[in-house]
Structure 1
Amino acid sequence: MKQLITFLSFLILGQLSYAQIVINELDCDSPGIDDKEFIELKSDTPNMPLDGYVVVLFNGSSSGNDSSYFTIDLDGFTTDDNGLLLIGSDAVSPFPQLLIAANVIQNGADALGIYLGSDTDFPEGTEATQTNLIDALAYDTSDSDDTALMALLGLTEQINEGSANNTNSIQRNNDGSYFVGTPTPRLLNDGAGVIFNAISIATAESQYNEGDVFDIVFTAQQNVTEDVTFTFTLDNYGFDASDFTGNTTLTIPSGQNTVTTTITLIDDSLDEGDEEPIVKFVNLDWPYIPNNNFLKLRVIDNDFTVAPFGTPLNSTYGIVSSTQPSGYYNSLDGLEDVVLRQALQDIIADPNVVRAQTYNDCIDILKEADQNPENSNEVWLVYLEQGRAKLDFQLTSVNTGTWNREHTFPRSRAGYYSIEEDEIADGIDVFWETKADSLRHGNSDAHALRAVDGPENSSRGNQFYGEYNGPTGVPGGFRGDVARGVFYLAVRYNGLEIVNGFPEGLVGQFGDLQTLLEWHRNDPPDDYEMNRNNVVYNWQFNRNPFIDQPDLIEYIWGDMIGETWEQNLSIEEVQELKVSLYPNPTSGKLFINGIVAETAVEVFSIDGRQLMKTSINGNGQLDLNFTSGMYLVKLTSEGKSVVKKVIIK
């Protein structure tokens, strides 16, 4: 009996020794974009190492199944002199000791718990449990109680923080009960303990150019009672001490509360791209803590490069050559209709050659493929038709001023989707095998993805082309480009098709065919599009054939259905006039693309008799109502002319 009592005593003491950390405060919802939410833990003793503990967040919604959706491993972290550890995003003030992304903590009815263990013990979807549970809190924002989740965690009460966009937090009383009040991050809820003195970082602007000189001001909330010396850095990826001069070790004199340092950005001759130095403290001793930290600045590199070819609004032709392998399309010769289409799919969906990348890899692909020809540090935005800094990729729920990835054939219309591995950017040399039936890979097929303005992406939604024609007042230089991207997908993946009209509710079908044909014909492939075709080919090992051989579209969807395909005899662009003629051979309709000024067009028989004379001032077409045979087409513009042979079948 004495041995049993001794064993039970050790067991109870063992449990109590672990019950030293509790949930002290939770702010699960904050006004605006909800980026100031946080979790605060409290240990019984100050400066307590938290190795061996993990915070687990549970989803109480009907789809969440009272299971884990996010874990925070506490290994390596220590509470402060008040026994507190603040967990939150970099928008929380004072700055958290443990950073998580903004808007991670769900509003409820949900719960969180502190456990003995590690994050690997709670893979996503792990049902809430009391095993190794140290402390737990069920909470909501004016939602009904989740009694099932409470039971799983052994709780009898669910705390309401307040309705949506509230300014409250849930705080723990010393007796273990909770109350709702004004948030007090890194302060004891009863007002006791050591009061910190938070130091803020500020600059006059958030963006500077190479060669600029600017001040960084550090300001404490209260005058310091002794000299306070600290160090900060500006390092971030490629930006380091070689990119600036200025003092990074500073002292706030006793009795004062501010110190300033002057930074000079070095104007070098290297095209390093725009960079984002981050001002961050290296060391601060309690009670001095960061009020804000990781202050991100933007340094614009004035050494950006300009491509030799134009943007889609200032198209050039014939400068960028296709990198297609010799004979890439030879297997198509002599084919027609469905057999031609199948042979084309066999090339661009060959499982022995073609690669599929992750959705996050596509960010890097688009930074290269959609690079603004006028500024190598920007991407060119489809629809909006302007440049935007590559650094402004959308990372939060706020899309204003950012760019993201546009599916020209929307996901909801096609039926492809993301998987967890899509969140990893693992580079050009790591890829999935893919084939014509791998429709899911259409989600990350860069031939049909475009860099797009965030709000404009939302405005387009999943509208069909023809319903959506781009922003008002924009010239529409994107139209042929997106049409060819959609046509590519319809051949590349089984289960996708382009149809007339707007087929609502029919997954896999996309419209409008006639609109897309018109866009393709009126906006031929230019150097910008050929360059992106080459870039994507380098990643995916397949090409968009409708950029290399644009008249193929006529043989599959247009005026040449049923006709036998032969590779163009004169598809190469006319350098002097920057135009292209196709298809050739033709059944009578000849498209002339790339016209930049008024052009005289004359058609002659092979013996030199003039059969037609007209002029065009923009891309258009000729109806050659002549008998089968060879003809000469002469184009004259701005004092230059060229004669091309055309075969009518």
Structure 2
Amino acid sequence: MKRFLIVPVIFICQISWSQVLVINELDPDSPSTDTAEFVELKSQTPNFSTDGYILVFFNGSSSGADSSYMVIDLNGYQTDNNGLLVIGSEGVYPFPQLLISENVIQNGADAVGIYQASVNDFPEGTLATQANLIDAMVYGTNDPDDTVLMGLLGETVQYNDNGTNATERSIQRFVDGMGVESYSAATPTPRRENDGSGTAINPIQISVVETQYDEGASFDITFTAEVNVTSDLNFTISLNNFGFNTSDYTGNTNLTILSGTNSTSTTITLTDDSDDEGDEVMRIQFTDLEEPIVPGNNFVEVRVVDNDFTVAAWGTPTNPTTGIVQSTQPDGYYDSLDGLSDLALRQALQDIIADPNVVRAQTYADVIDILMEADQNPANSNQVWLLYIEEGRAKLDLQTGSSNSGKWNREHTFPRSRGGFFDIEEDEVADGIDVFWTTEADSLRHGNSDAHALRAADAAENSSRGNQHYGQYIGPSGTLGSFRGDVARSVLYMEIRYNGLEVVNGFPTTTGQLGDLATLLDWHRNDPPDDFEMNRNNVVYTWQFNRNPFIDQPDLVEYIWGNNVGDVWDQQLSVDENELQGVSLYPNPTSGRLYINTTNAVNVEVYSVEGKRLRQYSAIDGYLDLDLASGLYLVKLETEKGSMTKKIIVE
């Protein structure tokens, strides 16, 4: 939203302070990425329990319809010595007493209200009301007045925070000596009285030089008070966080800032054990500060990189292997396809992979756990392998906030907007492998969380791809294109799995259609399945109880979309790999010379990953010199007994 710098306006309300709890300050639009949003409540008396109260946020946009979008339960909290309670995100300084995610408070025109009620009274989408309302504020960031929302809450003024990206402002409440309230936009003052009165607090800031250390490393944690303490300040910190505990480090966690000074530090040494625990996160937090000493920041995270990761027996997509990972398909899984062709073959295949008596659908949140296993980097078990940019990234770097730099997230190879599927509230719950929905071919909504068509991807690259068709999008420049066959097989799977989806030629605009079929067929042919793809097929099968048939039986693609449409399918005649089991290529990667181990001379064709034939050789029975630039290539070997295609790396 474009915002303008305006001279702050003072809003005056001729109502003396009579409520037990009011909205004292609101910052709904902190600069840049909204990392310091907060609401500050104030009670008439200090240390006031907020049990029985809730904070409700209302969306004043046309789509929000002046209804609730977020509710915060205030049970278990109380205001401080100044009667203040700050609800905000981690970027707020001093640190909030009640922590919420960043970038969740909407800019406006919107509203927030304090109610003496239960969170169950305000399910998402509840129209704003004055029933049980204690105090409310309608606000905006240079937005037109939402008179309807104001009327629903009994308010007559919509307040403006007047903030810009360069100058942060919050809406603040003031009370003069006569008890008259007024509001103005000023520099935020969380956990401090807006007029500078009250008991002064002294925040302590936690700092570390780096946010990531290897096992065995030592580093200092420094604690700095805003002003010198007037007596020795003893306090304790905790570093524990999930699996990270006192067995993972040594160092003093009982600290003292000496009188007349404002800082102290401790040295922490990380234990270098032999356990494959995966990367962990240490969380530095205060455990026993008492007012007027308060946290300046808190829950500071430091990643501990485990050097005991495992390496799989198979290769990454850019250094592929085949034949090491075997399909875990049950015996006879595809037998019902034999002897069929055309529409009958399609239907029989759908009957297998969309069988409502067998197949399961998981939540979109569950997909994160699935991808951490299915897309695990074969070269480092602490990482996921990223589609498109072809590299590993720490599993811990999952995007959870607004920033996508250096993060990974879930990429729909068949974009949601193209497919017409979506998530629902239950999709936000990761309820595990044993909790699932029944699903069928008409359950298009479940395409949102179908792990066969979801991949771990660099969050920024995912955003760049958007909902482009393949062919429009071909991946980042400078990569090997090792993902191309994978995405082809995943979107072709989606067409068969769900009624209402189709892969077509060109770049359609019709919902349910994705292109470009010709491009995807080339990608499938020139980037055949490898061990990485077979392993993820096996992993997804353990969750969903269905498989991607085009990984197990890649020639099926030709019988449904390609060169064999109309031909009768027979499994035993479709697996060329078995007919050339005695043929092998080595070394891989190669510096240029490629040896072919075979009892018979073979014809050889070399293709780029885009499908362009680069070299052709006849009757090779020893070796050949490729004379190619470094990169990934496809080598097709053919004899009178059949053919096979292998990926090779030229270094």
Query: Same fold by TM-score, threshold 0.5 exceeded?
Result: yes
Q: Which residue of 2 aligns with 1:472?
A: 477
AA in 1 matched with 2:322: Y
Query: Structure 1 residue 389 and structure 2 residue 390: aligned?
Result: no
Q: Which runs of 5+ in 1 are unaligned?
A: 1-15, 580-593, 605-611, 622-632
Query: Structure 1 residue 287 and structure 2 residue 292: aligned?
Result: yes
Kept after mapping to 2: 8 A contact 1:50/1:74: yes
Q: Closer, same or farther in 2 for the Cα pair 1:379/1:126, shift >3 Å?
A: same
Q: Which residue of 2 aligns with 1:318?
A: 323
Q: Which residue of 2 aligns with 1:9?
A: none
Q: Which residue of 2 aligns with 1:609?
A: none
Kept after mapping to 2: 8 A contact 1:139/1:159: yes
Query: Structure 1 residue 544 and structure 2 residue 548: aligned?
Result: yes
AA in 2 matched with 1:122: F
TM-score with structure 1 setting the length: 0.88
Q: Which residue of 2 aligns with 1:173?
A: 174
Q: Which residue of 2 aligns with 1:126?
A: 126
Shift of residue 337, structure 1, vs aligned partner = 1.0
Deviations 1:409-439 (A, max 9, x none): 1111111111111111111110000001111
- Once the two structures are superposed, the pairs formed by residues 2-81 of structure 1 within 5 Å of their partners are 19-81=19-81
Query: Structure 1 residue 616 and structure 2 residue 602: aligned?
Result: no
**Rounded Cα–Cα distance in structure 1 between residues aligned with 2:125 and 2:163:** 27
**Rounded Cα–Cα distance in structure 2 between residues aligned with 1:422 and 1:354:** 18
Q: 1:202 aligns with which of 200, 203, 207?
A: 207
AA in 2 matched with 1:231: T
Q: Which residue of 2 aligns with 1:563?
A: 567
Kept after mapping to 2: 8 A contact 1:603/1:613: no
Q: Closer, same or farther in 2 for the Cα pair 1:271/1:402, shift >3 Å?
A: same
3-state DSSP of counterpart to 1:77: coil
- Once the two structures are superposed, the pairs formed by residues 230-629 of structure 1 within 5 Å of their partners are 230-503=235-508, 505-569=509-573, 570-572=575-577, 577=583, 598=594, 614-617=603-606
Shift of residue 111, structure 1, vs aligned partner = 1.0
Shift of residue 62, structure 1, vs aligned partner = 1.1
Deviations 1:426-467 (A, max 9, x none): 111100000011111111101011111011111111111111
AA in 2 matched with 1:160: N
3-state DSSP of counterpart to 1:481: helix
3-state DSSP of counterpart to 1:365: helix
**Rounded Cα–Cα distance in structure 1 between residues aligned with 2:563 and 2:151:** 68
Kept after mapping to 2: 8 A contact 1:597/1:618: no
**Rounded Cα–Cα distance in structure 2 between residues aligned with 1:578 and 1:172:** 77
Kept after mapping to 1: 8 A contact 2:603/2:639: no
**Rounded Cα–Cα distance in structure 2 between residues aligned with 1:524 and 1:477:** 10
Kept after mapping to 1: 8 A contact 2:602/2:619: no
Shift of residue 112, structure 1, vs aligned partner = 0.9
Q: Closer, same or farther in 2 for the Cα pair 1:331/1:634, shift >3 Å?
A: farther
Shift of residue 301, structure 1, vs aligned partner = 0.3
Kept after mapping to 2: 8 A contact 1:93/1:185: yes
Shift of residue 198, structure 1, vs aligned partner = 0.6
Shift of residue 568, structure 1, vs aligned partner = 3.1
AA in 1 matched with 2:605: I
Kept after mapping to 2: 8 A contact 1:214/1:263: yes
- Once the two structures are superposed, the pairs formed by residues 144-163 of structure 1 within 5 Å of their partners are 144-162=144-162
Shift of residue 616, structure 1, vs aligned partner = 3.0
**Rounded Cα–Cα distance in structure 1 between residues aligned with 2:346 and 2:489:** 15
**Rounded Cα–Cα distance in structure 2 between residues aligned with 1:603 and 1:619:** 27
Q: Which residue of 1 aligns with 2:614?
A: none
AA in 2 matched with 1:520: H
Kept after mapping to 2: 8 A contact 1:601/1:616: no
Shift of residue 67, structure 1, vs aligned partner = 1.0
3-state DSSP of counterpart to 2:145: coil
Q: Closer, same or farther in 2 for the Cα pair 1:602/1:194, shift >3 Å?
A: closer
Kept after mapping to 1: 8 A contact 2:169/2:187: yes
Shift of residue 164, structure 1, vs aligned partner = 4.9
3-state DSSP of counterpart to 2:85: strand
AA in 2 matched with 1:318: G
Q: Closer, same or farther in 2 for the Cα pair 1:602/1:502, shift >3 Å?
A: farther
**RMSD of aligned Cα (Å):** 2.5
Q: Closer, same or farther in 2 for the Cα pair 1:615/1:134, shift >3 Å?
A: closer
Q: Closer, same or farther in 2 for the Cα pair 1:552/1:449, shift >3 Å?
A: same
Choose 1 or 2 for highest CA Rg. Answer: 1
**Rounded Cα–Cα distance in structure 1 between residues aligned with 2:599 and 2:473:** 38
Shift of residue 617, structure 1, vs aligned partner = 3.9
Kept after mapping to 1: 8 A contact 2:584/2:596: no
3-state DSSP of counterpart to 1:32: helix
Kept after mapping to 1: 8 A contact 2:602/2:620: no
Q: Closer, same or farther in 2 for the Cα pair 1:409/1:236, shift >3 Å?
A: same
Kept after mapping to 1: 8 A contact 2:597/2:622: no
**Rounded Cα–Cα distance in structure 1 between residues aligned with 2:473 and 2:572:** 33
Q: Which residue of 2 aligns with 1:215?
A: 220
Q: Which runs of 5+ in 2 are unaligned?
A: 1-15, 612-617, 625-636, 644-651
AA in 2 matched with 1:464: H
Shift of residue 265, structure 1, vs aligned partner = 0.3
Kept after mapping to 2: 8 A contact 1:113/1:133: yes
Shift of residue 614, structure 1, vs aligned partner = 3.0
Shift of residue 294, structure 1, vs aligned partner = 0.4
**Rounded Cα–Cα distance in structure 1 between residues aligned with 2:92 and 2:438:** 43
Kept after mapping to 2: 8 A contact 1:58/1:68: yes
**Rounded Cα–Cα distance in structure 2 between residues aligned with 1:502 and 1:136:** 49
Deviations 1:149-173 (A, max 9, x none): 1111111111111155351111111
**Rounded Cα–Cα distance in structure 1 between residues aligned with 2:159 and 2:414:** 45
**Rounded Cα–Cα distance in structure 1 between residues aligned with 2:370 and 2:26:** 40
Q: Closer, same or farther in 2 for the Cα pair 1:199/1:491, shift >3 Å?
A: same
Shift of residue 93, structure 1, vs aligned partner = 0.6
Kept after mapping to 1: 8 A contact 2:602/2:621: no
The count of aligned residue pairs is: 598
**Rounded Cα–Cα distance in structure 2 between residues aligned with 1:123 and 1:354:** 32
Q: Closer, same or farther in 2 for the Cα pair 1:542/1:450, shift >3 Å?
A: same
AA in 1 matched with 2:368: I
Q: Which residue of 2 aligns with 1:625?
A: none
AA in 2 matched with 1:202: S
**Rounded Cα–Cα distance in structure 2 between residues aligned with 1:177 and 1:565:** 79
